[in-house]
Amino acid sequence: MRILVAEDKPATAALLQCALEGEGHHVTVAYDGTQTLALARTSGLHLILLDIMLPVLDGFTVLRQLREAGRRTPVIILTARDAKSDVIRGLDEGADDYLTKPFELDLLLARVRAVTRRSPIPDGPELRFLDLRLDSNNYELHRGDRTESLTRIEYALLETLIRRPGTVTRRETLIENGWGPGAADPASLYVFIRSLRAKITHPGETELLHTVRGVGYSLRPGDTS
């Protein structure tokens, strides 16, 4: 795969490049936001590893401009900013996953595999639950007359849930389907479920995604538990 690493610290960039190239990937490095944006707008990239604290243009700005321009290249945020508000902001801007520094290289490589192994299923069967519809071709959910874009992990989580309506899906199952074995933790799942829930249910709509405390999550109508 062709991967763009956006990282302003040369030592960290070199480490990431070495690890990724050791897995057989072709890696390009950008050291500031302007360079990242220019390279990310070129065709042929399969993945972007994006630091938030880039000079000139920060990673949030780069990501927002890419998504506004219609670029759907998968993006994994790599950042030392681990506040939940920053993570949520990154997902809202269109990131597919996030990883906080410092991190294990094995974990990063697992996240890379998880994000890039998923692609839309052409002309696949339409998945529905009540007025919720999952679009497998465009990574979108439709509810009523509105449409929400999903990250690849959000799509994987919702696909898992919508195939099990009315039942409880264990957290371990969601983690494995979203990231793969050993590639995520319950804290990551919580953040993505929170983001997904906000897209599924807007104010005034019936809540569909429910937490079953200590076990997992369930897609069903009714009040939140």
The radius of gyration of the chain's CA atoms, rounded to the nearest angstrom, is 18
- The pLDDT tens digits of the residues spanning 59-118 come to 999 999 998 888 888 999 988 877 778 888 888 888 988 888 888 888 888 888 887 765
Confidence category of residue 162, pLDDT binned at 50, 70, 90: very high
Token pair listed for 70:
């219609």
d(CA 195, CA 7): 26
Confidence category of residue 29, pLDDT binned at 50, 70, 90: very high
- The residue ranges of every structural domain in the chain are 2-116, 127-219
CATH architecture of the region 127-219: Orthogonal Bundle (1.10)
Looking at residue 122, its pLDDT comes to: 46
Confidence category of residue 176, pLDDT binned at 50, 70, 90: confident
- Tracing tokens 């039942």 back to the chain, one arrives at 167
Confidence category of residue 44, pLDDT binned at 50, 70, 90: confident
DSSP state of 208: -
Is 157's pLDDT higher than 70? yes
- What is the average pLDDT across 144-172? 91
Looking at residue 28, its pLDDT comes to: 95
pTM above 0.95, yes or no: no
Is 224's pLDDT higher than 80? no
Helix (H) or strand (E) holding 195: helix 186-200
Give CA angle at 7 (116, 120), nearest 5°: 15
Ranking 84-88, 146-150, 167-171, 198-202 by mean pLDDT, the lowest is 84-88
Nearest to 5 by CA among 75, 88, 66: 75
- Tell me, yes or no, if the two domains 2-116 and 127-219 fold the same way: no
d(CA 220, CA 199): 15
Fold held by 2-116: Rossmann fold (3.40.50)
How many angstroms from the chain centroid is the CA of residue 201? 19
Helix (H) or strand (E) holding 61: helix 59-68
Confidence category of residue 184, pLDDT binned at 50, 70, 90: low
Higher pLDDT: 14 or 180? It is 14
Question: Exposed, middle or buried: residue 100 (CB in 10 Å: 0-12, 13-18, 19+)?
Answer: middle
Share of the chain above pLDDT 90, in %: 52
d(CA 13, CA 203): 43
- What is the average pLDDT across 178-206? 85
How many helices, marked H, and strands, marked E, lie in the chain? 8, 12
Average pLDDT across the chain, whole number: 87
- The pLDDT tens digits of the residues spanning 113-145 come to 887 765 544 445 678 999 999 988 888 999 989
- What is the average pLDDT across 180-200? 83
